[in-house]
Structure 1
Amino acid sequence: MTGWRLLLTRPADESAALAGVLAEAGVFSSSLPLLDIEPIPASAKMREVIQNLNHYCAVIVVSKPAARIAVDLLNRHGLQPPVVKWFSVGAATAQILEDNGLDVSFPVDGDDSEALLELPQLREAIVRPDARVLIMRGEGGRELLAERLCELGASVEYLELYRRGLPQYPPATLPDRIEAERLNGLVVSSGQGFEHLRQLAGDTWPALARLPLFVPSPRVAEMARAAGAQTVVDCRGASAAALLTALREHPEPVL
């Protein structure tokens, strides 16, 4: 896979970890973080929800930042993890929760909302009258998950723990980086990451849209195609393993 030269757009710490895995596989990458994670200050309502997690039949944590902030809230307020069924969208998010003593179920064959919705443990957890599910997330995103859970008879509430901002870069930073480092593929890890990519690209988006774009889910793939991206590769997950599998399956660019 040494022909690939990828632009990574995750937050800086996650991009650094992903770059290390890619380097071991012979893939060059360059990091330009397009998401800044800003924790939302803890409110009385947020603390009340955290203190009453046992009122829910399932708690779903959709991202690593959400997991870190949730654990921090539990620890900061001296709360013992409640006896509740915990779920995560992917293995990396689950690991953060498990490292803090929580028993977490997650899909092993994909790290997206679709795979989680097929998880037998989740289906079992919500087969009860007046099932309540709490989704811990950032502001906005993953509406599909709530919609499908409601269709299955559960009521869904959100606990939004952080905001995602676009870091400030000088004009032309994105196209200049791609040209200077001869990058031939783009990687985004979320719908908002893709929106920030388009925003930063500005008038150069039509040219950048010709590059292969690796995305984590069918939802983001649909967004990208609707915006004019010409070659969209759905990795069916945001993990390094999912990206590497997609890279192996997609034809290498010719240098």
Structure 2
Amino acid sequence: MTGWRLLLTRPSDESAALSTVLAEAGVFSSSLPLLDIQPLPISDTQQAMILALDHYCAVIVVSKPAARIGLDLVGRYWPQPPIQSWFTVGAATAQILTDYGLEVSCPHEGDDSEALLELPQMREAIARPDARVLIMRGEGGRELLAERLREQGASVDYLELYRRGLPQYAEGALPERIESERLNGLVVSSGQGFEHLRQLAGSAWPELARLPLFVPSPRVAEMALAAGAQTVVDCRGASASALLTVLRETRPVL
């Protein structure tokens, strides 16, 4: 895998952690964060959701920022969280909740909403009458999870905790970084991360679209292919281990 030279686009702290793991495996990486996590003020309605946390049969946390910000909020009002079912899409987010002392279920295969919906624990949690589910997430995002849960008879509330901004970079910063460090692969961890990649690339996107692009799910792969990316590799997860697995199976263009 030593031939890979990757651009990482996650928030700076997550990119730093991923870079360390990649370096241990002999993979060079350069970080250009394309997601700036900006916590949102909590409205009276959202405060009421937290105060009524024990009324939900399941709490779904969709990202690491949602876990960190959400748990901080829970701690303000619940010195001891109520006993209920907690779920995450990915293992890294689950670890944050586990470290907090919560019992968490997450898919072992695939870091996406579809895999989460297939969990037996999820089906069991919402099988009761008048099931209520709270989803902690960023501003906006996919509606699939809530739609499917509602189809199964559950009511769903969103607790939107942050928005994802694009950090400010000088014009041409992205292609210049790729050229100066001779990068031969791009890594994004979400659909919005990919959208920001295209936005920052600007007129250079057709050229950058020739580079292998590593994405976390079939949904993001479809987005990238529709936008003209020529080689899209679905890692079936956003974890470092998922990325390393596909890097071992994919030969870099040197």
- Scaled to the shorter chain, the TM-score interval is over 0.9
SS of the equivalent of 1:199 reads: helix
Instruction: State how far apart, in whole Å, the 2-side matches of 1:14 and 1:109 are.
Output: 21
Task: Point out where structure 1 has 5 or more consecutive residues left out of the alignment.
Answer: none
SS of the equivalent of 1:42 reads: coil
- TM-score, length-scaled by structure 1: 0.96
Contact 1:51–1:79 at 8 Å: present in 2 too?
no
Aligned equivalent of 1:121: 121
Instruction: State how far apart, in whole Å, the 1-side matches of 2:17 and 2:204 are.
Output: 29
Aligned equivalent of 2:188: 188
Aligned equivalent of 1:254: 253
Contact 1:37–1:162 at 8 Å: present in 2 too?
yes
Aligned equivalent of 1:107: 107
Aligned equivalent of 2:140: 140
Q: 1:212 to 1:254 in 2, by over 3 A?
A: closer
Aligned equivalent of 2:226: 226
Task: Point out where structure 2 has 5 or more consecutive residues left out of the alignment.
Answer: none
What is the Cα-based RMSD across aligned positions, in Å?
1.2
> Is residue 1 of structure 2 the alignment partner of residue 13 of structure 1?
no
Alignment length, in residue pairs? 254
Q: CA deviation at 1:134?
A: 1.1
Aligned equivalent of 2:53: 53
Which amino acid is 1:254 matched to? V
Aligned equivalent of 1:96: 96
Instruction: State how far apart, in whole Å, the 1-side matches of 2:112 and 2:78 are.
Output: 31
Contact 2:5–2:29 at 8 Å: present in 1 too?
yes
After TM superposition, the structure 1 stretch with the greater mean CA deviation from structure 2, 69-78 or 18-27, is 69-78
Which amino acid is 2:243 matched to? L
Which amino acid is 2:186 matched to? L
SS of the equivalent of 1:124 reads: helix
Alignment of 1:2-81 (within 5 A): 2-81=2-81
Instruction: State how far apart, in whole Å, the 2-side matches of 1:63 and 1:23 are.
Output: 24
| Percent identity (aligned) | 80
- TM-score, length-scaled by structure 2: 0.97
Q: CA deviation at 1:149?
A: 1.8
Instruction: State how far apart, in whole Å, the 1-side matches of 2:99 and 2:44 are.
Output: 27
Instruction: State how far apart, in whole Å, the 2-side matches of 1:117 and 1:237 are.
Output: 16
Q: CA deviation at 1:147?
A: 2.2
Contact 2:109–2:236 at 8 Å: present in 1 too?
no
Q: CA deviation at 1:194?
A: 0.5
Instruction: State how far apart, in whole Å, the 2-side matches of 1:144 and 1:240 are.
Output: 25
